[in-house]
Structure 1
Amino acid sequence: MKQKTFFSRLLGIGSLFIQFGMLAQKEPVSFQDLGFWKSNGKNNWQIAGQVSADLNKKEFMTTQPGQGILVNLPEPQNRANLISAKEYGDMDVEFDFMMASHSNSGFYLQGRYEVQLMDSWGVQNPSTGDCGGIYKRRKFIPQEYLYEGHAPRVNACLAPGLWQHMEISFQAPKFDAQGNKISNAKVLFIKLNGYTLHENVELSGPTGGPISEKEVARGPIMIQGDHGAVAFKNLKIKDFDGQAASLSPVNYQVFYGKFKSPKDFINKKPNASGTQAQLAWNASKNNDEFATVFTASLNVPKAGKHNLELVSAGNYTLQVNGQMVASDTIYSNRRKKNVEVELPAGNSSVKITYYKNDADMSPMLGLGIEGPNFRMVNFQHPSSTLILGNGPSDIILLDAPKPTLLRSFVDIQQNDVRKRLVHSVNVGNPAHLHYTYDLDNGAIAQIWKGDFLDTTPMWDNRGDGSSRPRGPVLSLGSSPLVVKTADLEKDSDSISETAGFKIGGYEVDEQELPTFEYEIFGSQIRDQIRVIENKYLQRTLSIKNPNAEASLKVVSAKSIQSLGNDLYAINGQSYYIQAPQASIRTTATGQVLVLPLAEKITYSILW
């Protein structure tokens, strides 16, 4: 029987002293000035209001006055690293960063463990030195020798001049009372632009270029400033500097029967009772038609707001110090519930009443807590949150070692609303750049990097006919590409009935790449999308009888900025469009990038 770990969405329940949401909010670092950092005697680091990097000019970055962005502009005689005044142990950190073309930097945890920041746009086989890599260790025997290091799973790097987002969860090395190291530092995860690059990577020692080879329990953040131009904003840190909570052995009472609510069994004599070292639903010998009452003492070192997380499949109530903080007495499938509770220092009583009747789902129960200065700690036995065989039989993944096409339903996000495309083609490429084409609108609906598709929803059990990208997507929407010029400012995700739209399907060339065909407003269109230099998508439209009253609505966005040389930054430098002869129009909801209809049109999407 296969068992699969359960992951689910978070829900919140409110009460007198309970709030919705997660507790662990990261503290923002001010970039109004350089006060967070130690003085280094150089002025290559500065504060700016805006920054941009030339896509084609090496090591080139320009700034505009203001606040909110930290920028490194090194010169041969003016370059130095930046070190925080505060030191950290266990921490979660996230930030946005921008690389200049061919630039190189690094983010050092505790000043000793480097996460590489690099312009790795288009690299097919990333190494430890590419963006998101954990750099190699170094020793001299007598020449410099590099070893270990961890390459990212996938190249998730965006083009130079675009804002990228990195998240790091770090566990510091631990030492005994005599100062001897008893456990290595560990990267719990690193994410770049939504892609998970590393998980649970143990670090045997400092990587190359640390502030010291001696490991410590707490150390500063260091940003490499002696290599290349780089910018940062939205730096946020969560410092886990406290002792974790603990739970006493768990007492339980089990009642067998089909119960609609706790009042049906709470006054009965239990069929079984005892004590568990860890919380586990299987105090019951049945998988359904049972109820169990668990009681324990929860010890938290420091008074304050704590996030309680309950995982369940069935019905439950959760009480803390005699007060109800969460409950689900209606049918409940597998899910997590999170509640924020104010707890005193020391012991608090916890009572979980769990009952389950439905045989169609596996039992499941777990309890965790996160404090103001410690990470989430779980108190359940690992088996208590496993699905017992009624999840998907297998995960069915589709790779694209060569150009690969798959017709399927596809769910996309458009204007923050989910939309299902029912006539779509997913096109995968061995360069790890993929897209979904909406045949109903002649639109590139979404693009993504990395692995191709998860087709499990299509084939598991009866299936629903849909597939899902295996990486975070850049949603472009499925609005029609060709519209009447008079309608450019209208928001519409469907083609008007008067457009005379006819789908012509697609033909595949010798490289197994598609060209899509359709007719609209009396114009016959061939739409060819190709990967260029393993970096970006180029779209070429060949149009017979171009309608003089129609235009190409290339993109609709909140903001579009012209950077010169036919290059446009979309939505705050999230991605680029390169489009000769394009123009920007302002609408009631934002801006649109427009091209006149012509016999041949070429533009590119760079991200």
Structure 2
Amino acid sequence: MKKCFYFFVLMLCAAFAKAQPSSSAQSLALEDMSAFRQQAGNWQIVGDVVMNPSVDVHHQEQPGQAADPKTQKKKKSKEPEVVAEAPKAVTFQAGKGILLNINDATRKDNLVTNFEHGDIELELEVMLPRGSNSGIYLQGRYEVQLLDSWGVKNPKYSDIGGIYRNWENQPGKIYMGKAPLSNPAKAAGLWQKMRIAFRAPKFDASGNKIANARFVSVELNGVKIHDNVEVPLPTGGPIENNEKATGPLMIQGDHGPVAFRNIKYRLMKDGNVSISNIAYKTFYGSFKSTSDFANAKPAASGTMNELTCEILASENAYGAIYTGNITIPEDGDYTFNLRYTGGGTFTVNNEELLSFQRPDGWRNDRKTVSLKAGTYPFEIRNFKDASWAPPRLALFVQTANTYPQALHAFGSFPPDDEATSPIFITPGDGPKLLRAFLDFKGRRANRLTHTIGVGEPAGIHYVYDLKSGNLVCVWRGAFVDATPMWHDRGDGSFKPRGAAQYLFVNQPLAILSNANDPFPDASNEADFRSKGYQLDEATSRPIFKYIYKGLEVEDKVYPDDNSRIITHEVNIKNRGNEQLYYKLAEGSAITTMPDGSYAVDDKQYYIRPDQSIKPVVRTVNGKQELVTPVQGNVVKYSIIW
């Protein structure tokens, strides 16, 4: 159990480290267009935008057209003909906070920032209407594609998140682009999150290129779709067909409408911290803390050129003390990241920054400290008495504007080193069912203990909460990571492997005294009793069953629309005259869309109700809810994301 626990702690620490906010992150305020160069007027700042998911920007129908004179006779009428207005792909409201492009035949400029960048970390939210196309050019030269790619099974470089090709045909100047590793794209009209870590090309003093541009990583909706991709040449349509150390951000504006918000960036550089005069002492025995060997006679001692645990003569039951000097190039806040197996301490300038006094850890500890430029003594004490974990020791340092800099030898902590190989579960020829705990929205404090994951061969999956009779999570892509549940004794949980869209957690079916009453926060065992599920003979999919206040309920959840969406069908038996209500969704904001669907949680996903139900949007306890009275025996709706 111990090793599983510490593996879990490591994963949490890594996720926390990645998400740490930076005081140096800069935001584009999007209150006006002052952050950008002049353009033709197709770009503007607005307060809200709605993109009709049913209207393709390239094929808008024109209802009410006059009859074809070759086939029909005109009818005389004294009344003027009323022509219905065609539905619009994009509508917006005045205000601030959203950058919107609506181009036409004459206004179709690319948008270019006033600032220029070299190495950069960029994050933003983007929204595309159906059929639209744009792109983000790092340094104005290396494009990450933006496209309505919802539902694409095998994405290409031309799909959203792809690194675009160029159109050269001369040998040595051709770059064929790079397809994303997967397609976690959302449906048209929803906000999608993108994070890009980019390293600019490097040049020597004579101007010769010595390193290619590189996308360290690209993430779309929380899923990594590129990992360390070199781009040796500018992609198609650059601001200039050359390469430089710096350049502006450029957004394509001539291919279709696109909207952005929450644009943030950090201008990055390589760190220049160094360590020197490294010495070591090693000890062997079953130590429980650093004090057990701090004053003992060492088994061996010496100096080394690089910080490494590879000097150990045993892989377990050891202690080690590493000392040396660390040189800080300039005043600032420095974050030290010590990774190691076992326990240990880390001291800089006689101040203990980190301490963990157990012999069986797999640690990833961080501490930020303000330091003046200069050289300081450091000491690391490390011990381990856990045969399952290999000897590991790593020391990284970074500032708000520098990349993590490794101060240890490669072999002392190999990249992507894990305590165990991951255990991934995939569906076979039919649906795969797996009972486990689910940490709702990835948070251990929000653990659901009666959930079941259902994976489909077509790559669309969901988690159902048996305790509340509720659909709580949907996603596309790979199924689940069962490592936390099945490695060693495990902790009972699994994790969705795709871009998980979490829904809500409480009971969706309730008898209310009036339409404004809140739904129960938790299911009352006296009122609600799960009866498990049975497999449908035709599809092998589960049909979930429960009893709520004497009502017998069956839930069917299945892929729909070529496995792009999930439909939920709730069947209620032996109904009486109860005032029965069903909650379809809840979130910070719910918007009624032009096509009759509802955008939930500030346009994170859609609910499309069946024509037989008429839901309303209401506000309860600071949240908006989409609720329908249950008039008959069936509630049916689809989830689109």
What pairs up with 1:286-365 in 2 under 5 angstroms?
A: 286-330=314-358, 333-359=361-387, 361-365=389-393
**In the alignment, is residue 588 of structure 1 matched against residue 588 of structure 2?**
no
Amino acid at match of 1:602: K
Aligned partner of 1:34 in structure 2 is: 33
Aligned partner of 2:513 in structure 1 is: 486
Secondary structure at 1:8's aligned position in 2? helix
User: How big is the shift at 1:63?
Assistant: 1.7
- Give 1 or 2: higher strand fraction: 1
User: How big is the shift at 1:318?
Assistant: 1.8
Secondary structure at 2:506's aligned position in 1? coil
Question: Which of 573, 582, 598 is 1:568 aligned to?
Answer: 598
Deviations 1:182-241 (CA, angstroms, capped at 9, x unpaired): 121111110000011010111121111111221111111111111111111111111114
Structure 2, unpaired ranges of 5+: 1-6, 58-88
Q: Is 1:11–1:337's contact at 8 Å kept on the other side of the alignment?
A: no
What pairs up with 1:20-59 in 2 under 5 angstroms?
A: 25-40=24-39, 42-59=40-57
Aligned partner of 1:16 in structure 2 is: none
Q: Is 1:440–1:503's contact at 8 Å kept on the other side of the alignment?
A: no
CA separation of 1:514 and 1:505: change in aligned 2, threshold 3 A: closer
Q: Is 1:244–1:375's contact at 8 Å kept on the other side of the alignment?
A: no
User: How big is the shift at 1:388?
Assistant: 13
User: How big is the shift at 1:103?
Assistant: 0.8
Aligned partner of 1:447 in structure 2 is: 474
Aligned partner of 1:368 in structure 2 is: 396
Aligned partner of 2:483 in structure 1 is: 456
Aligned partner of 1:130 in structure 2 is: 159
Question: Which of 84, 89, 102 is 1:73 aligned to?
Answer: 102
CA separation of 1:497 and 1:486: change in aligned 2, threshold 3 A: farther
CA separation of 1:10 and 1:141: change in aligned 2, threshold 3 A: closer
What is the rounded CA distance, in whole Å, between the counterparts of 1:563 and 1:5 in structure 2? 41
User: How big is the shift at 1:8?
Assistant: 3.5
Q: Is 1:304–1:343's contact at 8 Å kept on the other side of the alignment?
A: yes
What is the rounded CA distance, in whole Å, between the counterparts of 1:328 and 1:86 in structure 2? 44
Question: Which of 163, 168, 179 is 2:191 aligned to?
Answer: 163
What is the rounded CA distance, in whole Å, between the counterparts of 1:267 and 1:407 in structure 2? 52
**In the alignment, is residue 9 of structure 1 matched against residue 12 of structure 2?**
yes
What is the rounded CA distance, in whole Å, between the counterparts of 2:104 and 2:227 in structure 1? 36
Aligned partner of 1:542 in structure 2 is: 571
What pairs up with 1:206-285 in 2 under 5 angstroms?
A: 206-241=234-269, 243-248=271-276, 250-259=278-287, 261-285=289-313
**In the alignment, is residue 148 of structure 1 matched against residue 176 of structure 2?**
yes
Q: Is 1:23–1:371's contact at 8 Å kept on the other side of the alignment?
A: no
What is the rounded CA distance, in whole Å, between the counterparts of 1:305 and 1:388 in structure 2? 26
User: How big is the shift at 1:573?
Assistant: 1.1
Secondary structure at 1:409's aligned position in 2? strand
CA separation of 1:39 and 1:401: change in aligned 2, threshold 3 A: farther
Structure 1, unpaired ranges of 5+: 13-19
Judge which range, 172-181 or 262-271, deviates more: 262-271
Question: Which of 140, 144, 166 is 1:111 aligned to?
Answer: 140
Secondary structure at 1:138's aligned position in 2? coil
CA separation of 1:493 and 1:363: change in aligned 2, threshold 3 A: farther
CA separation of 1:265 and 1:430: change in aligned 2, threshold 3 A: closer
Q: Is 1:256–1:291's contact at 8 Å kept on the other side of the alignment?
A: yes
User: How big is the shift at 1:369?
Assistant: 0.6
User: How big is the shift at 1:467?
Assistant: 3.3
Q: Is 1:184–1:202's contact at 8 Å kept on the other side of the alignment?
A: yes
Aligned partner of 2:223 in structure 1 is: 195
Amino acid at match of 1:551: Y
What is the rounded CA distance, in whole Å, between the counterparts of 2:625 and 2:442 in structure 1? 14
Aligned partner of 2:633 in structure 1 is: 599
User: How big is the shift at 1:91?
Assistant: 1.1
User: How big is the shift at 1:331?
Assistant: 5.3
What is the rounded CA distance, in whole Å, between the counterparts of 1:428 and 1:262 in structure 2? 47
Deviations 1:367-407 (CA, angstroms, capped at 9, x unpaired): 01112432111112233235999943x43322235441213
Secondary structure at 1:427's aligned position in 2? strand
Q: Is 1:23–1:372's contact at 8 Å kept on the other side of the alignment?
A: yes
What is the rounded CA distance, in whole Å, between the counterparts of 1:22 and 1:140 in structure 2? 44
Judge which range, 496-505 or 127-136, deviates more: 496-505
**In the alignment, is residue 552 of structure 1 matched against residue 582 of structure 2?**
yes
Q: Is 1:414–1:478's contact at 8 Å kept on the other side of the alignment?
A: no
User: How big is the shift at 1:585?
Assistant: 2.3
Q: Is 1:49–1:66's contact at 8 Å kept on the other side of the alignment?
A: yes
User: How big is the shift at 1:283?
Assistant: 2.4
Number of residues paired by the alignment? 593
Q: Is 2:440–2:446's contact at 8 Å kept on the other side of the alignment?
A: yes
Q: Is 1:299–1:347's contact at 8 Å kept on the other side of the alignment?
A: yes
TM-score (structure 1 length as normaliser): 0.90
What is the rounded CA distance, in whole Å, between the counterparts of 1:328 and 1:421 in structure 2? 30
User: How big is the shift at 1:268?
Assistant: 4.3
Aligned partner of 2:534 in structure 1 is: 506
Deviations 1:438-477 (CA, angstroms, capped at 9, x unpaired): 2332211211121012233444334455433212422223
Aligned partner of 1:15 in structure 2 is: none
CA separation of 1:471 and 1:24: change in aligned 2, threshold 3 A: farther
Q: Is 1:74–1:226's contact at 8 Å kept on the other side of the alignment?
A: yes
Amino acid at match of 1:536: I
What is the rounded CA distance, in whole Å, between the counterparts of 1:209 and 1:113 in structure 2? 9
Amino acid at match of 1:448: W
TM-score (structure 2 length as normaliser): 0.85
Secondary structure at 1:486's aligned position in 2? coil
CA separation of 1:418 and 1:89: change in aligned 2, threshold 3 A: same
Aligned partner of 1:182 in structure 2 is: 210
Aligned partner of 2:61 in structure 1 is: none
User: How big is the shift at 1:355?
Assistant: 3.0
What is the rounded CA distance, in whole Å, between the counterparts of 2:287 and 2:175 in structure 1? 61
Q: Is 1:362–1:390's contact at 8 Å kept on the other side of the alignment?
A: no
Deviations 1:45-85 (CA, angstroms, capped at 9, x unpaired): 11111111111122322221111111111111001111112
Aligned partner of 2:608 in structure 1 is: 578
What is the rounded CA distance, in whole Å, between the counterparts of 1:552 and 1:71 in structure 2? 36
User: How big is the shift at 1:561?
Assistant: 2.5
**In the alignment, is residue 427 of structure 1 matched against residue 460 of structure 2?**
no
CA separation of 1:590 and 1:271: change in aligned 2, threshold 3 A: same
What is the rounded CA distance, in whole Å, between the counterparts of 1:22 and 1:80 in structure 2? 33
Q: Is 2:360–2:386's contact at 8 Å kept on the other side of the alignment?
A: no
What is the rounded CA distance, in whole Å, between the counterparts of 1:556 and 1:103 in structure 2? 29
Judge which range, 60-69 or 278-287, deviates more: 278-287
